[in-house]
Amino acid sequence: MGQGRGWEGAVLRLMRAKDFTFTVTDAEDVTPDFRRLRLTDGGLLAAAGVHPTMWVRLWFDNAGKPHQRAYTLVDPDPAAGTFALEFALHEGCASDWARAAKPGDTVEATVQGTGFERPEPAPSHLVAIGDPASLPAINSLLDAVGTAPATIFFEGAADALPLRADPARHEVRQVPRPDSGGRLVERVKADLPALLAATPDPYVWIACDTVTTRALSTYVRKELGVPKHRTHALGYWRAS
């Protein structure tokens, strides 16, 4: 691994990353801008195990140059050796591949860096802040926290997307994106203090574009004083 993938592939090889080949078995257009692919895992799940929000790096050709993007596994089944991937479609080589993908197509993948630390004590209330790109990870997190209540700040229209929110336990607060994440930051700053004050052991999970994630992570840790081990923040994409 690394040959043909430039410096990124070489660095991952030095970090003992593992390579796998996935094969598409089914494709479904959930909406015109959101596509789900079902794949066989090429031995991944048997080798690496499964944990919440588990992700892999997929490799695509970008005008002759290697390009990698990270995607969360959806409904991994170790016994069958299968899982799904969900793509929020936009411009770019990863979305182009997903749009055209059909049964029998393959894609190379690398596993390195994924992990999940279960917060202790378990969350008394989960606050998840994300968008269509982080939707699969949000669903995985909701499954992982079990019966704990959750508030989900979702940037964009969640109604048509496969968000696994249970109205009995999960509240979804949708926020439009007319201004590169500014509206979401304002809404979270307005609502989050009261949510945190009302529960003893909150857990705040943030995965938006890089700029928005950085702003919210700084706010949660420095201004609201949420301990580092009670938060998780990762920029899932860069706004162009």
Q: What is the pLDDT of residue 114?
A: 62
- Could you tell me the residue ranges of all domains in the chain? 6-111, 125-233
Q: Which CATH class is domain 125-233?
A: alpha beta
CATH number for the domain whose boundaries are 6-111: 2.40.30.10
Q: How far apart are CA 16 and CA 144, in angstroms?
A: 28
pLDDT at position 118 is: 80
pLDDT the model gives residue 181: 65
Contact 153/184 with Cβ under 8 angstroms? Answer: yes
Q: What is the 3-state secondary structure (H, E, C) of 93-140?
A: HHHHHHHHCCCCCEEEEEECCCCCCCCCCCCCEEEEEECHHHHHHHHH
Calculate the dihedral angle through the C-alpha atoms of 74, 78, 47, 136, rounding to the nearest 10 degrees: 10
Residue 230 to residue 240: CA distance in whole angstroms: 30
Type of residue found at 198: A
pTM over 0.95: no
Burial of 158 (0-12, 13-18, 19+ CB in 10 A): buried
6-111 and 125-233 in the same fold = no
Cα(169)–Cα(177) distance, integer angstroms: 25
Residues of the chain predicted below pLDDT 50: 1-3, 6-16
